[in-house]
């Protein structure tokens, strides 16, 4: 569709240039074998229009979706709370037991009856789990 549009513009510009050449030839102004130059507006349009269209395609297919995804991740990280079940980017499942500015303390299991805790950076959290996960026969919510 876009290519048809661009080719339509190019062919319309070529026809307009050809019609101008035919008129000039009828008036005796054109020399045989000499090409008639495009008008400056048509030449600029022919150069700039494809670049503008490519920029629009890049924006709507790459930049805009990435910004939307980044906004969702930032919102998820800001809404973390004590007791959330999360997954880190390293694949570790844990439950949030403490939150500081840029660090999160996770309970990741038990060893000898004592809970094992680890501290990770806030940006290292991939997602908040919505379902409960079984861990060694104990259901964590």
* Helical (H) or strand (E) element with 133: strand 133-135
pLDDT in tens, 39-72: 888 888 889 999 999 999 999 999 999 999 999 9
Give the pLDDT confidence score for residue 115 in this predicted structure.
83
What CA–CA distances, in Å, run from 57 to 2, 11, 62, 71?
10, 23, 8, 21
Question: Is the pLDDT reported for residue 6 higher than 90?
Answer: no
Structure tokens at 52: 């503008």
Give the pLDDT confidence score for residue 43 in this predicted structure.
87
Domain edges within the chain = 2-78, 85-132
pLDDT in tens, 68-89: 999 999 999 999 999 999 999 9
């Amino acid at each position: 569709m876009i290519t048809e549009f661009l080719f339509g513009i190019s062919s319309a510009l070529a026809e307009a240039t050809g019609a101008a050449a035919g008129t000039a030839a009828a008036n005796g102004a054109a020399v045989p074998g000499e090409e008639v130059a495009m008008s400056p507006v048509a030449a600029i349009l022919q150069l700039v229009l494809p670049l503008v269209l490519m920029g629009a395609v890049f924006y709507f297919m790459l930049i805009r979706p990435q910004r939307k995804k980044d906004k969702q991740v930032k919102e998820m990280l800001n809404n973390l709370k004590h007791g959330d079940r999360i997954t880190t980017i390293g694949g570790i499942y844990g439950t949030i037991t403490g939150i500081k500015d840029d660090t999160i303390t996770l309970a990741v299991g038990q060893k000898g009856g004592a809970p094992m805790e680890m501290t990770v950076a806030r940006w290292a959290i991939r997602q908040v789990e919505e379902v409960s996960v079984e861990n060694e026969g104990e259901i964590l919510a």
